[in-house]
Amino acid sequence: MRENRDAPSPLPRTLISPSWQEAADNIAYDSATFPPPITVICGPAHSGKATFSRLLLNTLLERYKRVAYLDSNVGQPEFTVTGCVALHIIDKQTPDLTILYLKNPDRCVFFGHVSAKKESNSYFSSIIFLYDYFRRGFYQVDETDNPCKILLPLIINTYGWVKGTGYDVLVAMLRHTSPTHVAKVCSSSESKNLPNGLFWLENPQRKPVNLVHICYGNETSYLPKIMKKEACMLRDIRIIAYFRQCLPREMNFLNHKEFCDQLASVPLKEIPLSRVQVKHNCCQVVSSVVSQGLNASIVGLAVRSSAIAENNTPWCIGLGIVRAVDSSKDQLYLLTPVAPSTLKKVELIIQSTIDIPICLQQGFGRAWLDKF
């Protein structure tokens, strides 16, 4: 039974379709689900997956103290910068479904692209890597585990690439994760939607799963329209918000130019080149051409995993903007909010194809020309 159903709630339920809330309730309060539910939310782009994932997250947090959230939407992630596949462990509701939030992930893999189409194999491996980490740490009980271990529900929000290779990746991911629930969000355009039924299973009769259909149409036309905003603008907002952490939280700005100038004046941090490897497209970059690809780019700062079970996939511990590479001094200079003590652990610099927002480029150009 759902507790405190009539209690005052901080969530703006008036923005949510009753059928969407009912679907979230059915997943969160499914009495037949033990261990806790693992829910995959899938559907075409701009169909409302992100909004429903937040609604479901808030609803699950009414029943569970903590909820795991695996965000595989590298183009428009919910709680990280673009280009990341991340696992979050969340213990507080999001009071407003229309606001973008940045959260520190429990584990993160830096994919480095705004589209999963760039490297589909690497993209799939990142998802499976994080899911397996979740299973070992938060969903698996064996003889060596603490008998009082609390298992967590999991939400997997997927990328809106559901045709061709994207469909194959989604099918493989669904088969590997074996969710208890699949929320299939449907667009008003039938040609864009996923196939009917348990499309990813070769023998549906042998694998019980709860399939939840969510229609995005007139009934939900008054939902927050965050997914319909300009994608590039939202990516820039996330990047700017991330590097805003380089400045004191209490610092205020009169205008955008002042913010960019202040950010460009932040002292750069240094990483010895000889201590790290530079990788691009999963391949190591030859040292003689490092400066050509790194300068004025967004990079992932990563550490290697030592566990055999994790297949040495590097964990991303933060991002940086490379300002200069000085081979003669064996130094890489970058802007990053990562603490110096954590920066010392970095073993890999992962290149990306993510653009620096134009406003930051202009501000950096004015200030950094005086430094170098």
pLDDT digits (tens, 9 = 90+) for 280-307: 755 555 455 555 678 889 999 999 866 5
For residues 145 and 253, which has the higher predicted lDDT (pLDDT)? 253
pLDDT > 70: what percent of the chain? Answer: 81
Q: What is the spatial distance between Cα 117 and Cα 353, in angstroms, rounded to a whole number?
A: 13
- The highest-level CATH class for domain 251-368 is mainly beta
* Mean of all residue pLDDT scores within the chain: 83
Q: What is the spatial distance between Cα 158 and Cα 146, in angstroms, rounded to a whole number?
A: 31
Q: What is the spatial distance between Cα 329 and Cα 325, in angstroms, rounded to a whole number?
A: 9
pLDDT digits (tens, 9 = 90+) for 43-84: 998 888 988 999 999 999 999 999 999 999 998 899 999 999
For residues 79 and 255, which has the higher predicted lDDT (pLDDT)? 79
pLDDT at 5 > cutoff 90: no
Q: How far is CA 171 from the centre of its chain?
A: 20
pLDDT at 45: 85
pTM confidence score: 0.87
Tokens of 87: 């696992």
**How would you class 270 by CB atoms within 10 Å of its CB: exposed for 0-12, middle for 13-18, buried for 19 or more?**
middle
For residues 172 and 1, which has the higher predicted lDDT (pLDDT)? 172
Q: What is the spatial distance between Cα 131 and Cα 125, in angstroms, rounded to a whole number?
A: 10
Instruction: Name, in order, each residue with C-beta under 8 angstroms of 166's C-beta and a sequence gap of 6 or more.
Output: 116, 117, 120, 159
Domains of the chain: which residue ranges? 13-229, 251-368
Tokens 């996923």: give the residue: 194
pLDDT at 326 > cutoff 50: yes
Q: What is the spatial distance between Cα 240 and Cα 236, in angstroms, rounded to a whole number?
A: 6
Termini Cα distance of the chain: 64
- Pairing mode, strands 277-280 and 283-284: antiparallel
Which phi and psi (to 5°) does residue 62 adopt? Answer: -75, -20
Q: 13-229 and 251-368 share one CATH topology?
A: no
Q: How far is CA 263 from the centre of its chain?
A: 24
User: Rounded mean pLDDT of 233-247?
Assistant: 91
**How would you class 164 by CB atoms within 10 Å of its CB: exposed for 0-12, middle for 13-18, buried for 19 or more?**
exposed
Helix H or strand E segment including 237? helix 231-243
pLDDT at 117 > cutoff 90: no
Give the confidence band of 192 by pLDDT, cuts at 50, 70, 90. confident
pLDDT digits (tens, 9 = 90+) for 194-226: 998 899 988 766 667 899 998 875 444 444 444
> What CATH architecture applies to the domain 13-229?
3-Layer(aba) Sandwich (3.40)
- Which of 316, 302, 321, 317 lies closest to 263, judged by CA? 321
The β-bridge partners of 147 are none
Angle at 86 between CA 290 and CA 278, to 5 degrees: 10
Length of the chain: 372
